[in-house]
Amino acid sequence: MSLKIVFMGTPEFSIPTLKILKQSKHKIVCVYTQPPRKKSRGQKLLKTAVHVFSENEGLRVNTNNLKNENEYKNFMKLNPDIVVVVAYGQIIPDIYLKNPHLIFLNLHASLLPKWRGAAPIERAILNKDKETGISVMKIEKKLDAGPFIKQETVKINKETTSGELNKKLSVLGAKVLMDSIELIFSSKVNYKQQNEKNATYAKKINKIETRINWNDKAENIIAKINAFNPKPGAWFLFKDERIKILKAKEIAQKGEEGKVLDDKLTVGCSANAIQILKLQKEGRREMDAVEFLVGNNLGKGTKLN
């Protein structure tokens, strides 16, 4: 059975699902994404990753706000069989969800009910979780609380970064989403209710959180570096300049918090230390520690803020 699908998504994470739907027997009748935005003052408007991909594939694109009354009328004229939502960035209004003839499916990057909300990948790494995964769920009014169809688990280790996990989950999620669609329309679907007692929330990342606190344990600082790699980046101040740490490892060494302990960029923490392996000044390219130290005076005894 060939279905008419409306797709809603915005970042790079959404593209593997959009791509697999485009290559399937189903027809994408419209792609909804967030409108173009200025990257910085004075620069031209930049389209979202989904917008660019959709135009290249000849897909119809809509960047209008769903809350507009006329937009709902336009949406209904598409006469879709199903709506697929992957990191769209806008809450679906009730008038859409209450339509008894439509199923809204959401691909969420966690094992629901854990880490509902905006930043499930980052929160899983920050929390030092051993695993996370993908959930395909039916959208209901309450945030990420609808019954799920399928879940797949992915392991997290001490070296896993947000960027790596994002790519892995986006590819896995595309497959799980397609499998879920087939279950629905072959009448083999079995919705499973989430246990509200186990719900946790992945709130949006605050810029204040991205600064490294050297009074923290080394393992927590490593988790922060990995969670915010590649964006927005975990950082410290040196001579009033912000420097991101992209990669580091924990070292069983004692020393004053925030002080460079040797000539290998090992920095003291409240428990153990971290050795910085890759870092980046604002507006500059990333460097490994050896290259960085050649042009920057971060020798033994230097205090980092």
Range of the domain at 105: 4-202
What are the CA-CA distances from residue 100 to residues 6, 193, 255, 277 (Å)? Answer: 16, 19, 63, 54
Residues 182 and 256 in one domain: no
Q: Which of 116-120, 127-131, 292-296 is the least confident region?
A: 292-296
Residues 126 and 33 in one domain: yes
Tell me what the mean pLDDT of segment 62-84 comes to: 94
Q: Higher-confidence residue: 276 or 238?
A: 276
Of the three residues 140, 173, 202, the one that is the final residue of a domain is 202
45 inside domain: yes
Residues 195 and 256 in one domain: no
Q: Are the C-beta atoms of residues 121 and 166 closer than 8 Å to each other?
A: yes
Tell me what the mean pLDDT of segment 185-203 comes to: 95
Q: What is the pLDDT of residue 113?
A: 98
Residues 77 and 146 in one domain: yes
303 inside domain: no
Residues 225 and 136 in one domain: no
Of the three residues 202, 233, 263, the one that is the final residue of a domain is 202
77 inside domain: yes
287 inside domain: yes
In the chain, the number of structural domains is 2
Residues 214 and 192 in one domain: no
* pLDDT > 70 fraction of the chain, expressed in percent and rounded: 99
305 inside domain: no
Residues 264 and 244: their CA atoms lie apart, in Å, by 17
Q: Is the confidence at residue 43, as pLDDT, over 80?
A: no
304 inside domain: no
Q: How confident is the model at residue 243 (pLDDT cuts 50, 70, 90)?
A: very high
Q: How confident is the model at residue 42 (pLDDT cuts 50, 70, 90)?
A: low
Tell me what the mean pLDDT of segment 27-39 comes to: 94
Mean pLDDT over each residue of the chain, to the nearest integer: 95
CB atoms within 10 A of CB 112: 27
Of the three residues 202, 217, 244, the one that is the final residue of a domain is 202
Q: Higher-confidence residue: 56 or 41?
A: 56
Tens of pLDDT, residue by residue over 78-120, are 999 999 999 999 999 999 999 998 999 999 999 999 999 999 9
Please calculate the CA angle 180-181-186 and round it to the nearest 5 degrees.
100
Q: What is the pLDDT of residue 40?
A: 65
Residues 216 and 147 in one domain: no
Residues 211 and 198 in one domain: no
CATH number of the domain within which 88 lies: 3.40.50.170
Q: pTM for this one?
A: 0.94
Residues 126 and 236 in one domain: no
What are the CA-CA distances from residue 98 to residues 196, 231, 293 (Å)? Answer: 22, 36, 59
Q: How confident is the model at residue 298 (pLDDT cuts 50, 70, 90)?
A: confident
Helix (H, G, I), strand (E, B) or coil at 270: coil
Helix (H, G, I), strand (E, B) or coil at 170: helix
Residues 115 and 258 in one domain: no
* pLDDT > 90 fraction of the chain, expressed in percent and rounded: 90
34 inside domain: yes
Q: What is the pLDDT of residue 218?
A: 98
Q: Where are the beta strands (DSSP E) in 4-147?
A: 4-9, 27-32, 37-38, 45-46, 61-62, 82-86, 103-108, 116-117, 131-138
302 inside domain: no
Residues 38 and 178 in one domain: yes
Helix (H) or strand (E) holding 55, with range, is helix 49-56
* Tokens 């590819």 -> residue: 171
CATH number of the domain within which 220 lies: 3.10.25.10
Residues 194 and 245 in one domain: no
